Chain A
Amino acid sequence: MGAKSRSIRRREFLAGCAGAGVLAGWPRVVRGAAAEPVKIGVLGPLTDFTGRDIQRAAEIAAEEINGAGGILGRPIQLFSGDSEGVPEKAIQAWQQLTARDQVHAVVGGFRSGAILALVPHVARTRTPFIITGAASPDIMTPVKEKYAQFKYLFRAWVNSERQALSLAFVCRDILKGQTGFMRFAIDAENLKWARDYAGVLKVKLKEYNLELVYETYHDPATTDFTPIFKAAQAGKAQVLCQVISNQAGYVIVKQWRDQRVPLALVGNNNPSYLVSSFWKDTEGKCKYELSAYTKAPLSSKSIPFWNKFEQRFGETPFYTGTGAYDAVHLIKVAAEAAKSIDRDALVAALEKVNYEGVIGRIRFDDSHEAITGPDAVPVSYGQWLGDRQKVAIWPEKFSQGKYQPPEWMK
């Protein structure tokens, strides 16, 4: 009984101290809040276009928000962390952003290997992280499994499995539906995200009664795709589905055109996302390639943002950038809904957002993945038909043209 009494007295004492502390500190907190910036970390391989465009787009978003009064009356201040696309550097950059710069949230990220390595650090530091690049589904798996620890992870982009579903739809609706191609080959780089992607694509092709005649996983450093073309042709493939995230995307397109390879080239090719420069960098050899991501009116904000970005930097944004622009705005929307930049409050508000962004209408599912689809966040497909002319072909809702097979296949 005596122990209980002491315990109650101690609790009362502690509560009293806390209350006094809060009251004593209150005026300072209120005054400080008006002056203190909302600190947002920008993470990515910053010397590469994949990370550079995260930085550029986040700057545009921060300027817009600051010009309109900031977040809850506080200006945004951006802090950069260079992940170099590798795990150890990503961890260093994360520690720098969270410990030294003490950011409230982080946007960006590219390369699944690097971001997977960050997942435990995100949980440990309890810092909301809106991923706009890395595509491996595994990154988000812990959100459902151990929600309390990993709820700080969000992805404002489409994971590789859902990207694969989009390519499967393109194969079914465009390549089979419009052109009659039935035999497919897959060439994916030998990286985790690409293997995940190819695994889903294989299943879906089968489901749609499309024949898979050849599949291979090339070393990301491959400099000659001729043997792959030959093997696909030997299997009588009509379409080569590529899953490439690095510079090999230039090489495959150039060699495909130089050799007039009688295969329709489609799929994910990250360099081909550089709408303003890919045509020039491949000397127009990308003509007829059909690949993901292009300038399309996915929402009322899409084209104005692309134009603004292009006017300012002379180049179109890489997809990590469009996502990062939306991610910074999402932080504002969530903070204002929560009326706080407290981390847990931000997470709770992000879970409820229904926001029209540049990449589409953003809502998160219970894995904190952006919901995908033509009425949510779609993966657009465009075909190269001229310089800066990557014509939107799919989804049909945003289509601006009809797919044309390569002239040497007609």
Chain B
Amino acid sequence: MQTLPTILLFGLATSGIYALMAVGVALIYGVGRIINFAHGAFYTLGAYLTYLYAVRFGLGWWAGAALAILSVAAIAIAFDRLLIEPIREREVIVWIMTFAFAFAVRELIVLTFGARPYSIPAFVPGSVSILGQAIAAQRLLVVAASVLALGFLWGFLYRTRTGKALRAVALNRTGAHLVGIPVQRAHAAVMAISAGLAALAGIVISPINVVTPDMGLEPLLMAFTIVIFGGIGSLKGSLLAALIVGYAGALVSFLWAPELVTFMALVVVFSVILVRPTGLFGLAVERA
């Protein structure tokens, strides 16, 4: 049982990253009605831009990270306004566009940085001992950053006028438009917030892992798993599902075999789609 505190903390850190990604996917679908396959590209861009600002522009890691999040949010707004808005009503074309954007980002990264991996140092160096287990302090930062960011997001969506307006668009676009909510701006705002969260996830996890052009693939797959499990478009469902999938993954990794985690995620997707297509909290449930 020496492993128990490790499983608890690792499950929480993994859940945090999954939640940051999944909540963004759910928000973009809920408000913008887009299934965004480019979400992993925002995660990857966050890490690469942090490296760019910190190392090549010499801004330092914390400033580089902050600027990277803002940059990714700005890129996401441009993506939404220039590439998505003109085709928003054509669902399949939008899917293809998000795929194409993800590939374009990958190619651009390979051309600019090369395919070699990069390393970002720990924002909080060293280790801390928890119940006799040495844990990287960076991993605690992952947990803290996830909890804080998701807390702010909740406060924003449920306590501010703008947040309520975004939720209104999610509930009824036409109605929101009729009462004067600028729907297009709502789409762009949600894309920016979601991309910023994905970038944050990519940035805080990079010191523990490594920065590569394909680093966003696995979190994208897990985010979709969680969104389907939680109920497409449901924020509460995504959060709960992130915790379940994160801990299930930790248990599978530690007690069984780490290579089975992705397989487990796919089993979850197939099972939910077949047994309960609305997931834990499908939109129909949340709206009721």
Seen from chain A, the residues whose Cβ lies within 8 Å of a Cβ on chain B are 45, 47-49, 52, 190, 216-219, 221-228, 230-231, 234, 247-248, 250-251, 254-255, 258-260, 271, 280-283
Instruction: Please tell me which one of the listed residues A47, A52, A248, A282 contacts residue B110 in the complex, with CB atoms under 8 A apart.
Output: A47
Residue ID in chain A nearest B116 by CB atoms: A49
> What interface size band does chain B fall in?
35 or more
Cβ A47 vs Cβ B3 within 8 A: no
Q: Which residues of B contact A52 (CB under 8 A)?
A: 114
Cβ B6 vs Cβ A271 within 8 A: no
Residue ID in chain B nearest A49 by CB atoms: B116
* Number of CB contacts from chain A to chain B under 8 A: 90
Q: Given A219-B259, A259-B135, A283 and B119 touching (CB < 8 A)?
A: yes
A190 to B258, CA, bound (A): 12
Within 8 A of A (CB), among B50-65: none
Given A228-B258, A283-B125, 12 more A-B residue pairs with CB atoms under 8 Å apart are A221-B218, A222-B259, A224-B10, A224-B14, A226-B10, A226-B254, A227-B253, A234-B3, A248-B210, A250-B117, A259-B134, A283-B119
17 A-B pairs with CB atoms under 8 Å apart are: A49-B116, A216-B259, A219-B259, A219-B262, A221-B217, A223-B210, A226-B253, A226-B254, A247-B117, A247-B212, A250-B119, A258-B127, A258-B136, A258-B139, A259-B135, A271-B117, A281-B119
A47 to B125, CA, bound (A): 31
A218 to B257, CA, bound (A): 9
Most buried by A among B10, B119, B208: B119
Q: Which residues of A contact B139 (CB under 8 A)?
A: 258
Cβ A226 vs Cβ B6 within 8 A: yes
A251 to B208, CA, bound (A): 7
Instruction: Please tell me which one of the listed residues A45, A217, A234, A251 contacts residue B115 in the complex, with CB atoms under 8 A apart.
Output: A45
A221 to B263, CA, bound (A): 13
Within 8 A of A (CB), among B196-249: 205, 207-210, 212, 214, 217-218
Report if B278 contacts A (CB, 8 A): no
Say how far B254's CB is from chain A's closest CB, in angstroms: 5
Q: Which residues of B contact A190 (CB under 8 A)?
A: 259
Cβ A48 vs Cβ B116 within 8 A: yes
A260 to B126, CA, bound (A): 10
Cβ B114 vs Cβ A47 within 8 A: yes
Within 8 A of A (CB), among B107-163: 110, 114-119, 121-122, 125, 127, 133-136, 138-139
A158 to B12, CA, bound (A): 43
A111 to B115, CA, bound (A): 15
Instruction: Please tell me which one of the listed residues A47, A230, A231, A259 contacts residue B136 in the complex, with CB atoms under 8 A apart.
Output: A259
Q: Which residues of A contact B138 (CB under 8 A)?
A: 258
Q: Given A219-B262, A224-B10, A230-B6, A250 and B136 touching (CB < 8 A)?
A: no
A250 to B207, CA, bound (A): 10
Q: Which residues of A contact B127 (CB under 8 A)?
A: 258-260
Q: Which residues of B contact A254 (CB under 8 A)?
A: 119, 207-208
Instruction: Please tell me which one of the listed residues A218, A251, A283 contacts residue B209 in the complex, with CB atoms under 8 A apart.
Output: A251
Say how far B143's CB is from chain A's closest CB, in angstroms: 14
A217 to B116, CA, bound (A): 23
Cβ A250 vs Cβ B210 within 8 A: yes
Residue ID in chain B nearest A250 by CB atoms: B210
A135 to B238, CA, bound (A): 44
Residue ID in chain B nearest A260 by CB atoms: B134
